Structure 1
Amino acid sequence: MTDVIPASVPQPSFAESLKGRYFSTRRDTIVSIVFATLALWLGWSLVSWALVNATFGAGQGDVCRENMHGGACWSIVAARWRIVLFGLYPFEEQWRSGLACAIMVVVAILSCVPWFWSPRRLPVLWVAGFAAFYILMRGGLFGLPEVTEQNWGGLALTVFIFAAVVLLGMPLAIVFALLRRSELPWIARTMALVIDTVRSLPLLSIMFTFAIVLPFVLPGWAIGDKLYRVIVGYALFFACYQAEIIRGGMQALPAGQEEAAKALGMTYWQRIGYIILPQAFRNALPPTINQIVITFKETSLVTIIGFFDVMASGRAASGTAEWNFATIEMYVFVGLIFFVFVFSLSRYGAYLERRLRVGTR
């Protein structure tokens, strides 16, 4: 008996597929036409405002004022971009702030190279990059004039806070997760109480506590600068959330792996360093990337307690009498800055998920 070879099913054309999805019934046709018309109208209105009728050029403030309702005034970006990127940093030293941000961008790009994906190389890369960033921003070494933290601002301050929080918070999160899994009940329960308490508090209240309340209870030598107190508080908040993410990755591992490692005579730190943590970070990669993205976006909260970050710089750039009519354009520019950083982080996370086959079977 001969086998019958089934005939191949012809694939529908693009027009047939489009008709089947959006115009198969009268109701689908009406809904598709209405939404397509609305989308085209909104798209054209945005393009008309942002490009067709927009005003460009740093010296076009008077033209913008005469054409306030015709289109966007991107002249404010051309004229005030230095305030957004550098804040209160001295004008003649702003190249240092720009170079410092470029170094951190290069560090982030190099972190995408698989050669750096090791417990030794990646921390060294980030610590070295952050040290170079800090030396350029602060100065006082290699003939660079000193610029105190009170004069930092703009994008550079946002990048500094974000990098410092992640560098401090990630090792602390690992320690918290290991203590949370301790076999000694009093250690595990105490750590669980600390983590749950911090996670139940709003980030803004923690920032206020470390910035304003903490100096009243600390000795004079331990007070330090307000910026670093806020960073420590933010890092603690980040560590508590990230500790639960890492612990979830650890719990996803089969129990037999750790038992097999014990049977092979591996010490506790060998089991943690070679067996548990690498797989835990792999399992927890999607929520870890999400937590890092949230951390970068929430750095804008520091503007409420008096720091001149990129959000506050954008507000100051459009707060003068000359440019107070172009607030929307300035916030769009600041939003694009956040979009570039956050979208890049999310795309990198998606790349890591595909490369490491996270969530696939």
Structure 2
Amino acid sequence: MSFAADFPKDSAFNKAKARYFATPTDAVVSALFAAFAVWILWSLANWALLHAVFGANQRDACMATEGACWSVVSTRWRIVLFGLYPFEEQWRSAIACVVMVVVAALSCVPWFWSARRLPPLWIAGFAIFYVLMRGGWFGLREVTEQNWGGLSLTIFIFAAVSLLGMPLAIVFALLRRSDLPWIARTMALVIDVIRSLPLLSIMFTFAIVMPFVLPDWAIGDKLYRVIVGYALFFACYQAEIIRGGMQALPAGQEEAAKALGLTYWHRIGYIVLPQAFRNALPPTINQFVITFKETSLVTIIGFFDVMASGRAASGNADWNFATIEMYVFVALIFFVFVFTLSRYGAYLERRLGVGRR
């Protein structure tokens, strides 16, 4: 009797054997790959954990070790999270970030999934975030946008783009489906033109070119001009995603709603949009993931976001040998946010049965 016979046919051992060791060739390939994976994991653990330096201000110890120098993170983490924000006021930036994270977490609760609850939640959370960051009210010291930076600036840009871009995307999608040809074609032209341009060129246009063509009273701060341009870019892509979700609906549903005497806005609000967002859930989650990651592009036009802050934290003479560790830390920050959002999107797909027939 073989050793495998001692296990049930549906056991993990027999499943692994059938999948990876079914033939001698499969067994050799699986063994080589497993050995390579073990070597990679051991080398990574040896560098990142076993021979690493973790304590703050341990530059000399870092120079003497072959492992990772996490001391640069322990020493300079405030720059990554808060950028140029005044040291004594960084508690405000930290609370502001926590507020937006809590808002995002509450958005995952089904009770908030309505047009009467979700927008007020985000507007209130964003208002609290802005008041804490900007100050000037309630006895808080004023801190201008030029001193914002790090993770808090990244979250601010992402939240502002989402708040402006999503309603604009819904409007664009509805105009794109208008029964009036001149409205639908004009909107299609606008969407196609903006989608054909790189995001970086749009950011440069709103940051550098717009002040030359706008009146003085409409120029505003460069940060807000960039956010408006980014929101317009987001809205054009998201509008096509929403329109695709609308086109997936059976035509008979809207015709039945018309036969029942429902008005246009009742048909859109209660029948079309809820199902369109359900159909468009996977690409919508993907669009939010891309939007969060592409906030790092603002470093090119002079903003001190989390990526630029990480580069600055390890860019001085004392820590310029530890750039890899700092970039790993920044990558971990992005990974936590993006992976959490992706897993929540997968959970929603399972919960709502997206893609099932």
CA distance in structure 1 between the partners assigned to 2:150 and 2:189 by the alignment: 37
CA distance in structure 2 between the partners assigned to 1:315 and 1:16 by the alignment: 49
2:207 equivalent in structure 1: 211
Gap regions ≥5 residues in structure 1: 1-9
Matches for 1:222-233 after TM superposition, within 5 Å: 222-233=218-229
Q: Confirm whether residue 346 of structure 1 aligns to residue 342 of structure 2.
A: yes
Q: How far is 1:358 from its partner?
A: 1.1
1:43 equivalent in structure 2: 41
3-state SS of 1:57 partner: coil
2:69 equivalent in structure 1: 73
CA distance in structure 1 between the partners assigned to 2:16 and 2:336 by the alignment: 33
Q: How many residues align?
A: 350
Q: How far is 1:74 from its partner?
A: 0.5
Q: How far is 1:13 from its partner?
A: 3.7
Q: Confirm whether residue 99 of structure 1 aligns to residue 95 of structure 2.
A: yes
- 1:182 maps to amino acid: S
1:288 equivalent in structure 2: 284
Q: How far is 1:280 from its partner?
A: 0.5
Matches for 1:166-315 after TM superposition, within 5 Å: 166-315=162-311
Q: How far is 1:174 from its partner?
A: 0.2
Q: How far is 1:141 from its partner?
A: 0.4
Q: Confirm whether residue 163 of structure 1 aligns to residue 152 of structure 2.
A: no
Q: How far is 1:266 from its partner?
A: 0.8
Q: Which of 31, 49, 59 in structure 1 is aligned with 2:29?
A: 31
CA distance in structure 2 between the partners assigned to 1:11 and 1:344 by the alignment: 36
Q: Which of 80, 101, 104 in structure 2 is aligned with 1:84?
A: 80
Q: Confirm whether residue 62 of structure 1 aligns to residue 60 of structure 2.
A: yes
2:143 equivalent in structure 1: 147
CA distance in structure 1 between the partners assigned to 2:240 and 2:16 by the alignment: 45
CA distance in structure 1 between the partners assigned to 2:103 and 2:27 by the alignment: 51
User: Aligned-residue CA RMSD in angstroms?
Assistant: 0.9
2:5 equivalent in structure 1: none
Q: How far is 1:257 from its partner?
A: 0.7
The TM-score, its normalising length taken from structure 2, stands at 0.97
3-state SS of 2:100 partner: helix
- 1:169 maps to amino acid: G
1:4 equivalent in structure 2: none
105-114 or 16-25, which deviates more: 16-25
- 2:76 maps to amino acid: R
Q: Confirm whether residue 22 of structure 1 aligns to residue 20 of structure 2.
A: yes
- 2:101 maps to amino acid: V
User: Could you say if the C-alpha distance between residues 356 and 14 of structure 1 is closer, same or farther in structure 2, counting changes exceeding 3 Å?
Assistant: closer
CA distance in structure 2 between the partners assigned to 1:27 and 1:127 by the alignment: 59
CA distance in structure 1 between the partners assigned to 2:271 and 2:12 by the alignment: 49
- 2:41 maps to amino acid: G
16-25 or 250-259, which deviates more: 16-25
CA distance in structure 2 between the partners assigned to 1:341 and 1:21 by the alignment: 34
Q: How far is 1:342 from its partner?
A: 0.3
Q: How far is 1:12 from its partner?
A: 4.2
3-state SS of 1:120 partner: coil
Q: How far is 1:64 from its partner?
A: 0.2
- 1:144 maps to amino acid: L
- 2:264 maps to amino acid: Y
Deviations 1:191-234 (A, max 9, x none): 00000000011000100010001111111111110000000000
Deviations 1:212-268 (A, max 9, x none): 011111111111100000000000000000000000000000101111111111111
3-state SS of 1:266 partner: coil
Gap regions ≥5 residues in structure 2: 1-7
Q: Confirm whether residue 337 of structure 1 aligns to residue 349 of structure 2.
A: no
3-state SS of 1:182 partner: coil
118-127 or 57-66, which deviates more: 57-66
Deviations 1:292-319 (A, max 9, x none): 0100000000001000000000000000
CA distance in structure 2 between the partners assigned to 1:28 and 1:220 by the alignment: 70
The TM-score, its normalising length taken from structure 1, stands at 0.96
- 1:306 maps to amino acid: G
2:105 equivalent in structure 1: 109
CA distance in structure 1 between the partners assigned to 2:112 and 2:315 by the alignment: 44
Moved over 4 A (4+): none
CA distance in structure 1 between the partners assigned to 2:169 and 2:204 by the alignment: 22
Q: How far is 1:166 from its partner?
A: 0.3
